[in-house]
Each structure stands twice: as structure tokens, then as C-alpha cells.
Amino acid sequence: MPAAATTTESPSLAGLAGEILRLKAERRAVILAHNYQRPEVQDLADFVGDSLGLSRRAQDTDADVIVFCGVHFMAETASILNPSKTVLLPDALAGCSMADMISADRLLDLKEAHPGALVVAYVNTTAEIKAESDICCTSSNAVEVVESLPKDAEIIFIPDKYLGGYVQSRTGRRLILYDGWCPVHMEVREQGIAALKREHPRAVVLVHPEAPLEVSAMADIVCSTEQMVKAVAAHSAGEFIIGTETGIIHKMRRENPGKRFYAANDLAICPHMKMNSLQRVHAALRDLKGEVKVPESLRARAWLPIQRMLDLGLPYKESFVGCKC
Ligand code: SF4
């Protein structure tokens, strides 16, 4: 990974946003931000969304520079999809604990133990892992991706055992799961949701499928972050308990000022996602530092499973996955 962008000679906080917008125009850049980013970064972004939406934006943009406010595997995916662009990750050390749980060697061992099995890789993986996989998925489309595979296929699902377990329960298909998980979503717990539900009995509970299965089982709606954003806007209820990283609540409050949102756990904060401060976005644009680039031989192999997923053309669901309301 390249060295982290420096923040020397940064303008005052008050002028930072204006300076970023000026540099953005000068560099012909677009700023993409994940739903878990800091509020002030989301407010500056051209597009805020989940992994699938961001991948599509990265692929379609005609900007010269993509400032990717997310974590490393997301910027890498953007570069794989659009290699002619300069993709910048404001803090090059922003990784993902789940993506780090699986190595190419471990995946190769798993493939050797299950010859002929198809590998479905959650996008929360490195380019090396994607290059050894057959098709990618996001939390938006994991169920549909698995359902698109031949009925008799043996399927290895990596690396998130909880998303994989959720897909198993929705599809009825047995998957070979890997023991990976997200420490942030482990903070979304049954007790916290039960306590909030006692306090706000009419609140609708939304949980991300990276949460443990017993937590997902308590939810009215299990879905990805972008599906959550759409669900709370469309739902007639006025109160919602949100079982995912807390950063998404900023967007929900901004877009639904009349509704109330309660984090299932205020401590469900991804430290990696929060590394992209305004100062670092500014420094990345100013110095064009923090470029994420994948060597061409690896890129071509990692591109195929991502493109196979995008080619399925799966739209965001209008009726939400697992809604019990
Ligand atoms: S929330 Fe979890 S899965 Fe998402 S980037 Fe952070 S550690 Fe990785």
C-alpha cells in the first residue's frame, strides 16, 4: 500500500470544504463516499451509497480522478472497474478487518478441498481473493447472485459467515462457509435491540446481514445500507432502530427530517471508515496522493467476477429483503 496522505499546510476547517470543491473542479474529480463515512465527508460527496452503488458509479464516471471515501477494497474495486482513472483513497491505511481475515493461500486450500466448487466472494475482499473467485456479490444482491448459479453447483461463500448464513436461510442452498466476520457488526446485539424495542415499541428494526444471525432474526427488515436508506424513506412508520454502522444515520436523518432513528449500538463504529477526514480528502486532491492501482495481470483476473456480478443487472429491490412489516 502507498504511504498515507499528509495533512501539512491544510487550510482552516472553515475553509476546507470550499477548498476541496475548488480542487475537485480543477482536478476534474468526483468524490464517492460510502454510507459509513463521517457526516462532513458525506455532505461533500457527489454520491453516497453502498458497495454496489459505488462500484457502478466508479465504472460509469467520466471524471479523471475518483476520490474514494471508503476502505481499501472499495477503492481497489473502483480501480479494477475503471483502470484509466486515478483512484485516490484519502487515508491509504483505511482497510477492512473482514477482508483481512482471508488470504489467497487459505482460499486456495478451500478450493483444493472442494474441487469444482464455485466461489462467491463478497466484495469485502482483496483483488487477490477476487482473482481466485468465480463471481462477486454485495450485501444488496448476495441472495440473487447465489440463486443465479446452477442448482447442483457446490458453492464456497467467502469471507463473511453471517452474510453466508443469511443467504443460506433465504435460498435454502447449502453453502461452504468461511469463518470471517465484521467486528463492527458484532456490536449490533440482541440485548441492545430488545432494550430499544421496549422503549420504542412501534419502531421498525432494520439489520444488516453482516450482523449475527440471531440479531437478523429480530429484524423486521434485513438488507444492505442502501436498501435501508430506501426502506426508511418509503416506510409509513416514524421510528426506526438501525442495526448497522452508525454513520448511515446521518443520511437517514438528513433525508427524513420528520422521522426518528436510534442506533442499535452507538459503539458500532468502523474505525477504518472514519479514517477519511476532510483534511485527508483535501490533501489527497491537492497532492494526488494515496493512489490505489492494481497490476494489470491481477486486475484482469479480479475484474471478471466483479463484472459477472454487474452483468446480472440486479436492481435494488423495491420490496425489501426479509421485510416482516
Ligand atoms: S464495517 Fe466491517 S466489513 Fe465494513 S469496512 Fe468496517 S470492518 Fe470492514
Dihedral sign, Cα of residue 306, residue 311, residue 316, residue 319: negative
Which amino acid is located at 122 in the chain? Y
Which pLDDT score is estimated for 15? 87
Q: pTM for the whole thing?
A: 0.91
Which pLDDT score is estimated for 52? 80
Which amino acid is located at 78 in the chain? A
Task: Give the span between the Cα atoms of 279 and 13, in whole angstroms.
Answer: 8
Q: Which long-range contacts (CB under 8 A, 24 or more apart) does 258-263 make?
A: 259/232, 260/200, 260/203, 261/232, 262/196, 262/200, 262/203
Note if the bond before 159 is cis, omega within 30 degrees.
Answer: yes
CA of 11 to the centre of ligand 1 (A): 30
CA of 186 to the centre of ligand 1 (A): 11
Ligand 1 atom 5 nearest Cα? 96
Given a contact cutoff of 8 angstroms between Cβ atoms, the answer to whether 259 and 234 are in contact is no
pLDDT in tens, the chain (325 residues): 333 444 444 457 668 999 999 999 999 999 999 999 999 999 999 999 988 889 889 989 999 999 999 999 999 999 999 999 999 999 999 999 999 999 999 999 999 999 999 999 999 999 999 999 999 999 999 999 999 999 999 999 999 999 999 999 999 999 999 999 999 999 999 999 999 999 999 999 999 999 999 999 999 999 999 999 999 999 999 999 999 999 999 999 999 999 999 999 999 999 999 999 999 999 999 999 999 999 999 999 999 999 999 998 754 443 344 445 4
**How many CA within 13 A on the CB side of residue 239?**
10
CA of 273 to the centre of ligand 1 (A): 7
Phi first, then psi, for residue 66 (nearest 5°) are -110, 115
Does residue 24 line the site of ligand 1, with CB under 6 A?
no
Ligand 1 atom 6 nearest Cα? 270
CA of 85 to the centre of ligand 1 (A): 25
Task: Give the span between the Cα atoms of 137 and 189, in whole angstroms.
Answer: 25
**What SS3 string covers 46-83?**
CEEECHHHHHHHHHHCCCCEEEEECCHHHHHHHHHHCC
- For residues 76-101, b (16+ Cβ closer than 10 Å) or e, as one string? bbbbbbbeebbbbbbbbebbbbbbbb
Given a contact cutoff of 8 angstroms between Cβ atoms, the answer to whether 300 and 201 are in contact is no
